[in-house]
Structure 1
Amino acid sequence: MITRRGFLGGALVVSAPLVVPGLAAAAGPAELAPTVFVRLDGRGRITATVPRPDAGQGVRTVVALLVAEELVVDLADVRVEQAPGDTARYGSQVASGSRSARQLTEPMRTAAATARCLLVAAAAARWGVPVEECEARGGSVHHRDRRLPYGALVRDAAALDPASVPVALVPPQRWRLLGKTRAGRVDARDVVTGRARYGIDTRPRGALVAVVLRPPWIGARAGSVDDAAARAVPGVVAVVPLEPDAAGQGGVAVIARSTPEALRGREALRVTWHGGTPAADSRRWLDELEAALPAPAAAPGPVAFEATYRLPLLAHAPMEPMNATAHLTATGLAVWAPVQDPGGLRTELARRTGLAEADVRVETALSGGAFGRRLDTDVVLEAVACSRAAGAPVSVQWTRDDDMRHDSYRPMSVHRLSAVVDGSGLPTWRAHAVATWPLTIAPQIPPEIIKLSGDQFRYTVPGPVDLAVLPAPIRTGFWRSVYAGHFQYAEELFLGALGQRSGVDQVDLRRRLLPPGSRLRRALDAAVERAGATPPGALRGVACHEDFGSVCAVVADRAGGRVRRVVAAVDVGQVLHPSGVRAQVEGGVMDAVSTVFGAQITVRDGRVVQSSFRDYAWLRIDRAPEVDVVLVPSDAPVGGLGELAFPPAAAALAVGSGHELTGMPLGVEIG
């Protein structure tokens, strides 16, 4: 049984007094708020402010667990609220790069621990006893047979100087909740009962609705607009041309009093289009990428094997289509939207509108999936432009067709790999040539960063990685695992092909190429042990990946034309929320099954062919495999997770597929 006696004594790791720089918050007369992340009111109610958006990755639950642990209360005693966009107050607010838990753990723990230590110091002073004789637990401070609830101590604690009180963090060996509880998400009940409010549900009083008639082919711009019939539709109040870049991707918006009226108005529009690339074809784009591959690197011996892999465009396809609501006035701007960087968006909107940043408010709604798509600001710019035109708050709603055909897609890429092998068929040198596109929504990212983020090869096989980056002929953006999902997929496919050619078992091949005692080797061993023997008649694939300070090894079994079981062993350092880890890995596996066995975006005659889940072949629940997640014990710091599982899961599925490996998806024309 864990004792909490002496939390402020020698049983704790006591640090120097610590308040997060620049984040001190003024507390009210009956409120304790040593930082902007945590506050307690006079009734003892605890509120944790979550600075990063929750796009399904569960960051709100992790924050609540961190705060509950340090304040020694139950998870249910912590209320979470979402912070508005304000980087000056909250620091970076971007949810990307699997960074939220890694970067919030210490600030959140410190904020809650500071509050706890202030409460204990206040109680000790009131009783006239040493601080070391008091302990916090269950929402009260205790001293022998007496106690004071947190609420009764808030005023005294708020009067103390936080810099005068040493802050003691609860050491991991005394954790009650973190890494131990199978708690679900703090908002799960609201989500399943429909009480949760997503961006698509947000509608301020008096808000209008807009839908956009979008270019029929890539890059087209509206010419003449005949909007007479659209304006005649009951409920339509305005028709607004939208210029590309200044107002999103461009098109013609129909603003109405309701979504059905806006859709009917859009159907009645007559628009001529010009420019763009009406003959664009994604197969030709892949051919151009392959032709642009860097020249073969000089090998230290005879090249024994060479292979080329082609990877298609992928859509994000979040369950909640893109949406945003904006209200622009002469003195300010308010935005309500599910976004992944509310602080950065606020800064961008201030720059674009000419308003002071203090006059721009960005409220982050719950997001029904994101996967990188909601780092793009196009839908928010549309909402601002529509509000400017209508003189009222406007909610822009994308349809599923809009979402699928006007995404910022994962770029295409082509990979050529070659290897020199030893007498047993193991590679002793390998070269990887890559041709791909940049991310058009983040043009500031240089090619060297593309290579650095994508090349996560951890096997003890030397060799160069050479990259060619061509201009993107279509809008591209961040997609779960970004370029690592390209590079690592191709690398693992190539290793799998080498193993098949040499007759070396896939597991043994990787064990012999991974450094002994490495985290990745331990994860591979754990995955193989849990998977057990290959079932009769099954095809087995294996793959490994290390990124974001975490590692993942995947074993996948396929039989009867279906993926039956996937075992993923993950070492994410200190595990904060075990159920959340499993959920993230399961999501990565489902994305992998979907993309390896069917989902891709193709372009014909300048148009994206796919328009919904009918033809963008995402995994259905009745075809979902069993997913077994193994948490590998680790003393490493908290690692990233949201993007970790997709690359090795996709590669393991492909390596064990039985198909000829030419890229992704398998068994169909790519591109």
Structure 2
Amino acid sequence: MISRRTLLRGAGVGALVVAVPIPALAASDELVPNVFVRLDDSGRITATVPRPDTGQGVRTVVALMVAEELAVGVRDVALEQAAGDTERYGSQAVTNSTSVRQLATPIRTAAATARCLLVTAAAQRWGVPVAECTARDGAVRHPRRGRLAYRALVPAAAALDPATVPVELTPPEKWRLLGKTRDGRVDARDIVTGRTRYGIDSRPAGSLVAVVARPPWIGATPQSVDDTAARGLPGVVDVLTLTTPADGQGGVAVIARSTHQALRGRDALKITWGGGTPAADSRTWLADLRSALPAQSPVTGFERVYEMPLLAHAPMEPMNATAHVRPDGVTIWAPTQDPGGLRTQLARQLGLPATAVRVETTTSGGAFGRRIETDPVLEAVACSRRVGAPVQVLWTRADDMRHDSYRPMSVHRLSAEIGAGGVPVRRAHEVATWGLTVLPFFSNPALIKASGDHFPYGVPGDVTVTVRPAPLRTGFWRAVYAGQFVYAEENFLSEIGTRSGLDQVALRRSLLPADSRLHRLLDTAAERARWTRPPARGTHRGVACLEEYGSAIAVIAVADPSARRVLRVHAAVDVGVALHPSGVRAQVEGCVVDALSTVLGAQITVRDGHVAQSSFGDYAWARIGQTPEIDVTIVQSNAPLGGLGELAYPPAAAAIAAALAGEEPVTGMPFGTDVG
């Protein structure tokens, strides 16, 4: 049984639910027992989705949870995306794979509260005990009294005080949908038919469009701007020099009546640039990181060095935001990862009360950590404030690729003392990397270590981190530092196993506690991959594991090293209870494709002060024909609900690299190419 106090306390999900109020009783034609669920007297059920959907499928899981607890079909639940409002919804940030695990208790409790109010109202009308009534298919039923549709009970249920009605969640053994449905996303049809509205589709009436002339090399700023020709072009409304950091990344914005006109205006600008680092080169940065490693490892024996390149986020929807600054406030339309945090930031920066700032959260065409940042929004605000009209700032693909907040470079030196039987008995992992410029306190070596190091095996040793100042913008990239640490650690273990002639699965099993989640997952993945059979001629297999975000996963990749082709990837994943199994598989598959892409060669390089890559032609993300068969096995457990969005990337990258390397050492990432 769940009381109101338990709901407000949050059952371990922290500030998200602590901030969720139970509003005053609703009007008699609506049942609004909490901020997440609303029923009207027509029987319509509306669920509010407090966090953005950036591709992780949170809207689908919310619909499933509400439908489960209200005993209706998924299609009976209408979804409404919440605007930014941390006071009403708590944290709305999509970070650290927390969305579903932090929403599960409050959303399920919200819907269960509505169900229990409806059942109580029906029991009172019939004069029977509540325990004799059940909810099913949009109605309350009684063995002798018959049925009452929800719509007929809304006025009576709305008159009840939610705090006085005991609430019980539907136990897992009675679930009809959660953990069982094979259906895909509730919005899949809208996505594939073009009905879904993304940030890039958001142009309120009277909107203008702005594009920005951005620095031609890292850190450059405009010294002089001749905008005469640009202002003379049809449709160009204004030209504005943006400052940094108040107006985003800086540059010169051309505001026009259409995208084409804005782009033509940008091409017509004559700008003199200065400052910055016009000779910057990522090969020099890599050499600097190499030199930052201690002169000698504390452990002698087998040693390897792994080098990791810069990576761009490259979401399919480039950066964009629309702002309308008015005398009485501002409205934002943006595919942000944190609408509540954005609202708070803008209110503080503009000197407005939070009530004067509205952030409309749009669906996002990918994010991977990039959309937690606010630079496109700040650009749109500056442009709108200048012209007094709504302005949409659009980034081109080249803008997006060359002015990202990149995953930092890093160099990893691992050494191990090898004991009897070729098994490591002591280890050291020394890392040289950069912090995250978008969050300066993330330059703390201890924080970087905590983010990246998840070595699960019983080999004593330590990890030391040396942090150099980042020479360009760096930010959160899927799995943050874990993607690099796990890649190095798992490939190092694989190389030890190969050198010692050990079975890779058996090696890991011997170094894991027998009762660990990873032990069980390794067994499952090995069974799916038919590990006990010799690999087909010309193929090689790689293995990697990770336990993080409250979840665990084991990955086995099968590749043909001579053809540089990955054939199959087997993943066994434990997220506690998989509320939406097809969503779990989709998340793992997405991580595998990201891993494949980075291992096969996608990387960002800097030459002559600027990013060399400009699109998917030279930032080579995996194509459909390169995608392997991906087999995902969900292993249910009694563990608390875990996160998933970033989980599979690190071990998938490590397993794929090991499989592609065959008997050769893994020197870095991307596989087989120079880093930097």
SS at match of 2:279: coil
Give the aligned partner of residue 574 of structure 2. Answer: 571
| Aligned counterparts of 2:55 and 2:285: Cα–Cα separation in 1 | 33
Q: TM-score, normalised by structure 1?
A: 0.96
CA 541–251 in structure 1, closer or farther in 2 if over 3 Å, else same? same
Give the aligned partner of residue 596 of structure 1. Answer: 599
1:306 aligns with 2:303: yes
After TM superposition, give the deviation of residue 102 of structure 1 in Å.
0.5
- 2:381 aligns with one of 384, 393, 399: 384
Give the aligned partner of residue 665 of structure 2. Answer: 660
Give the aligned partner of residue 557 of structure 1. Answer: 558
- 1:669 aligns with one of 651, 654, 674: 674
- 2:2 aligns with one of 15, 27, 30: 15
Counterparts in 2 of 1:330-369, with a 5 A limit? 330-369=327-366
| Aligned counterparts of 2:238 and 2:489: Cα–Cα separation in 1 | 53
Between 1:525-534 and 1:252-261, the stretch displaced more is 525-534
Q: Deviations over 1:118-174 (max 9, x none)?
A: 100000001111111111110000112511111111111111111211101100111
Give the aligned partner of residue 474 of structure 1. Answer: 472
Letter matched to residue 635 of structure 1: N
Counterparts in 2 of 1:311-330, with a 5 A limit? 311-330=308-327
Moved over 3 A (4+): 15-22, 294-299
Between 1:442-451 and 1:384-393, the stretch displaced more is 442-451
Counterparts in 2 of 1:191-590, with a 5 A limit? 191-294=191-294, 296=296, 298-299=298-299, 303-445=300-442, 446-532=444-530, 533=533, 534-559=535-560, 560-590=563-593
Letter matched to residue 23 of structure 1: P
Q: Is the 8 A contact 2:602 2:621 kept in 1?
A: yes
SS at match of 1:444: helix
After TM superposition, give the deviation of residue 661 of structure 1 in Å.
1.3
After TM superposition, give the deviation of residue 35 of structure 1 in Å.
1.0
1:28 aligns with 2:27: yes
| Aligned counterparts of 2:520 and 2:121: Cα–Cα separation in 1 | 47
| Aligned counterparts of 1:403 and 1:237: Cα–Cα separation in 2 | 24
SS at match of 2:117: helix
Letter matched to residue 323 of structure 1: N
| Aligned counterparts of 2:94 and 2:27: Cα–Cα separation in 1 | 30
| Aligned counterparts of 2:343 and 2:607: Cα–Cα separation in 1 | 37
After TM superposition, give the deviation of residue 444 of structure 1 in Å.
2.8
Give the aligned partner of residue 107 of structure 1. Answer: 106
SS at match of 2:441: coil
Give the aligned partner of residue 160 of structure 1. Answer: 160
Q: Is the 8 A contact 2:43 2:150 kept in 1?
A: yes
Q: Is the 8 A contact 1:296 1:433 kept in 2?
A: no
| Aligned counterparts of 2:501 and 2:588: Cα–Cα separation in 1 | 31
Counterparts in 2 of 1:612-627, with a 5 A limit? 612-627=615-630
After TM superposition, give the deviation of residue 296 of structure 1 in Å.
4.3
| Aligned counterparts of 2:89 and 2:27: Cα–Cα separation in 1 | 19
| Aligned counterparts of 2:402 and 2:611: Cα–Cα separation in 1 | 5
After TM superposition, give the deviation of residue 19 of structure 1 in Å.
4.2
Q: Deviations over 1:17-38 (max 9, x none)?
A: 4543542124233111111011
After TM superposition, give the deviation of residue 501 of structure 1 in Å.
1.1
SS at match of 2:522: helix
Q: Is the 8 A contact 1:294 1:467 kept in 2?
A: no
Letter matched to residue 160 of structure 1: L
Q: Deviations over 1:611-631 (max 9, x none)?
A: 000000100011111100011
| Aligned counterparts of 1:429 and 1:70: Cα–Cα separation in 2 | 51
| Aligned counterparts of 1:634 and 1:170: Cα–Cα separation in 2 | 18
Q: Is the 8 A contact 2:423 2:496 kept in 1?
A: yes
| Aligned counterparts of 2:44 and 2:524: Cα–Cα separation in 1 | 43
SS at match of 1:34: coil
Q: Is the 8 A contact 1:19 1:162 kept in 2?
A: no
| Aligned counterparts of 1:34 and 1:447: Cα–Cα separation in 2 | 46
Letter matched to residue 326 of structure 2: T
| Aligned counterparts of 1:44 and 1:296: Cα–Cα separation in 2 | 71
| Aligned counterparts of 2:280 and 2:63: Cα–Cα separation in 1 | 49
Between 1:364-373 and 1:500-509, the stretch displaced more is 500-509
After TM superposition, give the deviation of residue 295 of structure 1 in Å.
5.3
Give the aligned partner of residue 631 of structure 2. Answer: 628
After TM superposition, give the deviation of residue 670 of structure 1 in Å.
0.7
| Aligned counterparts of 1:141 and 1:338: Cα–Cα separation in 2 | 39
Give the aligned partner of residue 4 of structure 1. Answer: none
Q: Deviations over 1:81-111 (max 9, x none)?
A: 1100000000000001000011000000100
SS at match of 2:105: helix
- 1:638 aligns with one of 638, 641, 647: 641
SS at match of 1:168: coil
Q: Is the 8 A contact 1:19 1:34 kept in 2?
A: no
| Aligned counterparts of 2:570 and 2:337: Cα–Cα separation in 1 | 30
Q: Is the 8 A contact 1:207 1:394 kept in 2?
A: yes
| Aligned counterparts of 2:288 and 2:365: Cα–Cα separation in 1 | 36
Give the aligned partner of residue 5 of structure 1. Answer: none
SS at match of 1:543: strand
Letter matched to residue 216 of structure 1: P
Give the aligned partner of residue 140 of structure 2. Answer: 141
Aligned residues: 655
After TM superposition, give the deviation of residue 601 of structure 1 in Å.
0.0
Q: Deviations over 1:353-396 (max 9, x none)?
A: 11111100001100000000101111000000000111110000
Letter matched to residue 44 of structure 1: G
> What percent of counterpart residues are identical?
67
| Aligned counterparts of 1:227 and 1:624: Cα–Cα separation in 2 | 47
> Which runs of 5 or more residues in structure 1 are unaligned?
1-13
Q: TM-score, normalised by structure 2?
A: 0.96
1:608 aligns with 2:611: yes
Counterparts in 2 of 1:114-133, with a 5 A limit? 114-133=113-132
Q: Deviations over 1:575-616 (max 9, x none)?
A: 100000000000000000000011000001101000000000
Letter matched to residue 189 of structure 2: R
Q: Is the 8 A contact 1:294 1:435 kept in 2?
A: no
Q: Is the 8 A contact 1:140 1:147 kept in 2?
A: yes
SS at match of 1:203: coil
Tell me the C-alpha RMSD between the 2 structures: 1.1
After TM superposition, give the deviation of residue 297 of structure 1 in Å.
5.3
